[in-house]
């Protein structure tokens, strides 16, 4: 690598030390309820849509299917992209790509207990979302795409980061 490219990379890292990461997530909606996963991090517990980060040269669909298999033991049919939002926190920049996903009618999640971040899972009504510590805080957008039966335009929400509750 040339000296000028090394210098440019060092300069970029000095001013932007946080590299954006992609996270794929699933809205799994069945019988009037949505599947959420409870995370446990830094002495906090909160709810997220199931999913995770990409590995290597995975496609977005493949990454989401893998995450659902690994974390919840679910085989899924990945549908369309419905929400894009960012988390621009002081220590991280995450781009969340949220898809409509279907699982079998009788499929039941099985939590991966070897992952210390995963505290549990639950089917919750859409009306419950605003009352939960749901991250990123996109309950209204999730409710809207479900109300439209996932047929509306992709929602680009921008930065949704909020300081963590203590």
Domain assignments of the chain as residue spans, ordered by start: 18-159
CATH class assigned to 18-159: alpha beta
pTM listed for this prediction: 0.85
Calpha distance 61→47 (Å, rounded): 22
* Residue-by-residue pLDDT tens, the chain, 166 positions: 444 555 555 555 556 567 889 999 999 999 999 999 999 888 889 999 999 999 989 999 999 999 999 999 999 999 999 999 999 888 889 999 999 999 998 899 998 888 888 889 999 999 999 999 999 999 999 999 999 999 999 999 998 988 876 5
Instruction: Output the six-digit token pair for 83.
Output: 């929400």
DSSP 31-45: TTEEEEEEEEETTEE
Q: What is the DSSP letter of 86?
A: E
Burial string for 133-163 (b: 16+ CB within 10 Å, else e) reads: ebbbbbbebbeebbeeebeeeebebeebbee
Calpha distance 77→141 (Å, rounded): 21
Helices (H), the chain: 3-15, 60-72, 139-147
């Amino acid at each position: 690598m040339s000296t000028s490219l090394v210098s440019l990379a060092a300069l970029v890292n000095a001013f932007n030390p946080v590299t954006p990461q992609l996270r794929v997530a699933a809205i799994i909606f069945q019988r009037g309820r949505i599947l959420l996963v409870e995370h446990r991090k830094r002495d906090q517990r909160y709810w997220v849509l199931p999913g995770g980060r990409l590995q290597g040269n995975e496609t977005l669909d493949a990454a989401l299917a893998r995450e659902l298999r690994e974390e919840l033991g679910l085989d899924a049919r990945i549908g369309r992209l419905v929400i894009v939002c960012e988390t621009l926190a002081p220590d991280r920049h995450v781009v969340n790509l949220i898809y409509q996903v279907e699982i079998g009618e009788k499929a039941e999640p099985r939590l991966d207990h070897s992952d210390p971040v995963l505290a549990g899972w639950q089917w919750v009504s859409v009306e419950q979302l605003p009352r939960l510590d749901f991250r990123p805080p996109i309950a209204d957008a999730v409710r809207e795409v479900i109300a439209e039966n996932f047929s509306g335009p992709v929602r680009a929400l921008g930065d949704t980061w909020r300081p963590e509750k203590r």
